[in-house]
Amino acid sequence: MPSRFYDLFPPLPLPDEMRQWDAQAMALGLPEELLMENAARAALDVLRVYRPHLAGLRVWLLMGGGNNGGDAACLARHLLDAGAHPLVLHTRPLSSYKGACGKHVRIARAAGVIFTRYTALAPQGGTLPDIVVDGLLGTGFCGTLRPETLEIIRRVNALPGQPFVLAIDIPSGLDGRTGLAMPEAIRATATVSFAAAKPGLALPHARPWTGELHVRGIGIPLAAQRRAPCSFYAVDGRSLAPLARIQPDGFKNSYGHVLVVGGAPGLGGAAHLAARAALRAGAGLVTAAAPGAGIADIKNGWPEIMTLPLGETQGRWPASLPEHFVELVGRCAALVVGPGMGRGADAADFIAALLALPHRPPTVFDADALMLMAGRLDLQARLRAHDVLTPHPGEAAALLGSSAADVQADRQSALKRLCGLSRAVVVLKGAASLVGQGEAPTLLCPYDVPQLAVGGSGDVLAGCMGGLLARMLPQPHAPQYAAAETDNTAATVLQPAHMLAGQAVALHALAGKSLAGQWPLRGNTPSAVADALPAALAAYTATPAPEDDFLPWPR
């Protein structure tokens, strides 16, 4: 059985980390030839999902110089046994294939598989293939395609008749880290990724190249994976399981009290959305604190949202923290600071005073709070390991002193730089949101949800995150985190706030996805996203996830 951590957060090894997994498996005594055999059988299983009857089908297998080429040669033997007509088109002299790859070439040839040197993808005897298997390049590819390989890829993509294309491990030409085509890649109908998906495969912009993504095991023991922890882990619907637990004999205080600090006059809608989402995420109590003139807009007809007016000057944040506010902060399990707070000097002073409180609970800083902290190293130094920053690309650019275009051009590097600013967890929002902290591994949420691309969606995420921190963090040693604390993996450096932030991102995304049936072309409100949180949690925790597939998007 995989560890509890791997159940919740599937690993996404980088290419060099995948090589370490292979090496560790071989160090345990598993022959490389066996891993290659298992990979070929896994590819055959995926192919049968789409083409159950292989007998009589013409299959061209493109065989490059790496291990993917060996997988293709081994797969050709299985296709021959299934009654298909495989033809292996190799790009290098057969004598150059050594090791496990060379051994499988020899076995396949002895079994009767036809091999021929690739010259051009021209119809063989006037016929075209029914299936093309891409075994040209593996996950180790980076940089820019060589002209001769680029020409092969273009010929595959231009084949008439639209044959079914199966990519082995990754479409050739796609960067396994970034998911970018360099500059083109095989346009696969489906991709089978061995042992684990790779970060680039999980990114939405890789979808036109990967087609439907399948992950199949090839027998690499968990012990081998533990010896080579990953830099990235996926956070999807499977991560939500711990959030579905209901406390026996629980009452409202058992589920935490969230304090939302925001909603200056004219901006109350943002604080309302955050408070509403905190309730929908399961918090037992929610209070919104704001200048008195903004309170009615925050409440917005919701008697469940308690309010705390602040300051004698109705439209401004008070110059010092009121005593009753400080007392409430001490009783709350989590804070959400920033939605609709405004960016005036009064708001900046209020945040500075709040950050100075010695016993401040875990805090989500969003929206205006992030902009007020941008360039303020004194404020960022007060952030703690259980705090969470939730910038979108524009807010991330302000914190980094760069541009949103720079952030989007290399989101992984931008996240690393953001994590270097403080001890807090950082959620870099956007399609395939990234969640990081310090030198800990990154959680990657693979969803791209158009229904979330609406003003106020970020306020909902902040409130959702606050609700989860409030009801889950008071018990950091609860069973759902026990494995993460004891497992000898990267989980040992993933703190509970880091994991909860990732789970909030996944729940928020899945709530948005659940609206696609009613609002397929968008048009939904962020309030609808907040209200969909409980049903989304129930839907994704009612049944177990598929045991062999990592699917960022539904089949």
Residue 430, annotated ligand binder?
yes
Is residue 66 in some structural domain? Answer: yes
CA torsion sign for 403, 404, 405, 408 is positive
Q: What are phi and psi of 221, to 5 degrees?
A: -65, 150
| Structure tokens belonging to residue 88 | 């292996």
User: CA 504, CA 484: separation in Å to the nearest integer?
Assistant: 18
Residue 67, annotated ligand binder?
yes
Reported as a single tens digit per residue, the pLDDT across 185-214 is 999 999 999 999 999 999 999 999 999 999
* 17, pLDDT greater than 90: yes
List the end-to-end C-alpha distance of the chain, in Å, as a whole number.
26
215, 232, 249 - which closes a domain: 232
Residues 191, 282, single domain; the answer is no
User: CA 355, CA 372: separation in Å to the nearest integer?
Assistant: 12
User: CA 285, CA 296: separation in Å to the nearest integer?
Assistant: 18
What is the structure's pLDDT at 57?
A: 97
* 386, pLDDT greater than 60: yes
Residues 254, 338, single domain; the answer is yes
DSSP-assigned beta bridge partners for residue 285: 257
Span 358-363, average pLDDT? 94
- Sequence length of the chain is 555
Residues 189, 130, single domain; the answer is yes
Question: Do the bridges between strand 190-194 and strand 164-168 make them parallel or antiparallel, or are there none, so unpaired?
Answer: parallel
What is the structure's pLDDT at 124?
A: 54
- The set of residues, in sequence order, having a beta carbon less than 8 Å from that of 31 and lying 6+ positions away, is 100
Span 139-161, average pLDDT? 92
Is residue 555 in some structural domain? Answer: no
Q: Of all residues in the chain, what percent carry a pLDDT higher than 90?
A: 81
Contact 487, 463 (CB under 8 A): no
Residue 141, annotated ligand binder?
yes
* 549, pLDDT greater than 60: no
Residue 458, annotated ligand binder?
yes
- Name the more confident of 525 and 142: 525
- DSSP of 374-410, one letter per residue? TT-HHHHTT--TT-EE---HHHHHHHHTS-HHHHHHT
Residue 297, annotated ligand binder?
no
Residues 212, 274, single domain; the answer is no
Count other C-beta atoms under 10 Å from residue 308's C-beta. 17
Which residue in 159, 154, 163, 124 sits closest to 136, CA to CA?
154
pTM beyond cutoff 0.85: yes
What is the structure's pLDDT at 543?
A: 62
Contact 522, 469 (CB under 8 A): no
The CATH number covering residue 390 comes to 3.40.1190.20
Residue 511, annotated ligand binder?
no
- Name the more confident of 484 and 128: 128
What is the structure's pLDDT at 313?
A: 64
* 250, pLDDT greater than 70: yes
Residue 29, annotated ligand binder?
no
The angle at the Cα of 35, spanning 33 to 40, to the nearest 5 degrees, equals: 95
Torsion angle of alpha carbons 360, 366, 372, 375, nearest 10°?
90
Residue 270, annotated ligand binder?
yes
Element (H, E) at 126: none
Span 139-154, average pLDDT? 92
The CATH number covering residue 106 comes to 3.40.50.10260
* 94, pLDDT greater than 70: yes
Contact 362, 386 (CB under 8 A): yes
Residues 348, 299, single domain; the answer is yes
166: amino acid identity, one letter: L
212, 232, 252 - which closes a domain: 232
Reported as a single tens digit per residue, the pLDDT across 418-456 is 999 999 999 999 999 999 999 999 999 999 999 999 999
Residue 139, annotated ligand binder?
yes
Reported as a single tens digit per residue, the pLDDT across 28-85 is 999 999 999 999 999 999 999 999 999 999 999 999 988 889 999 999 999 999 999 9
Residue 227's domain comprises 3-232
Residue 402, annotated ligand binder?
no
Residues 208, 249, single domain; the answer is no
**What CA–CA distances, in Å, run from 344 to 347, 368, 374?**
5, 10, 13
Residues 43, 159, single domain; the answer is yes
Q: What are phi and psi of 108, to 5 degrees?
A: -65, -40
How many domains is the chain built from?
A: 2
Residue 542, annotated ligand binder?
no
3-state helix/strand/coil string of 496-543: HHHHHHHHHHHHHHHHHHCCCCCCCCCCCCHHHHHHCHHHHHHHHHCC
What is the structure's pLDDT at 455?
A: 95
Is residue 457 in some structural domain? Answer: yes
Residue 429, annotated ligand binder?
yes
pLDDT band at 283 (very low <50, low <70, confident <90, very high): very high
Lowest-pLDDT range of 159-163, 205-209, 343-347, 371-375:
159-163
Is residue 550 in some structural domain? Answer: no
Residue 71, annotated ligand binder?
yes
Residues 275, 401, single domain; the answer is yes
**What CA–CA distances, in Å, run from 491 to 62, 433, 496, 508?**
39, 19, 10, 23
Residue 301, annotated ligand binder?
no
* 178, pLDDT greater than 90: yes
Reported as a single tens digit per residue, the pLDDT across 24-42 is 999 999 999 999 999 999 9
Residue 340, annotated ligand binder?
yes
- The set of residues, in sequence order, having a beta carbon less than 8 Å from that of 249 and lying 6+ positions away, is none
- The set of residues, in sequence order, having a beta carbon less than 8 Å from that of 321 and lying 6+ positions away, is 350, 353, 354, 357
Q: Of all residues in the chain, what percent carry a pLDDT higher than 70?
A: 92
pLDDT band at 482 (very low <50, low <70, confident <90, very high): very low
Residue 101, annotated ligand binder?
no
Q: What are phi and psi of 325, to 5 degrees?
A: -70, -45
Residues 210, 248, single domain; the answer is no
Residue 550, annotated ligand binder?
no
User: CA 61, CA 40: separation in Å to the nearest integer?
Assistant: 12
* 477, pLDDT greater than 50: no
Residues 265, 348, single domain; the answer is yes
| Structure tokens belonging to residue 352 | 């500075």
pLDDT band at 258 (very low <50, low <70, confident <90, very high): very high
pLDDT band at 517 (very low <50, low <70, confident <90, very high): very high
177, 199, 232 - which closes a domain: 232
What is the structure's pLDDT at 479?
A: 38
Residue 219, annotated ligand binder?
no
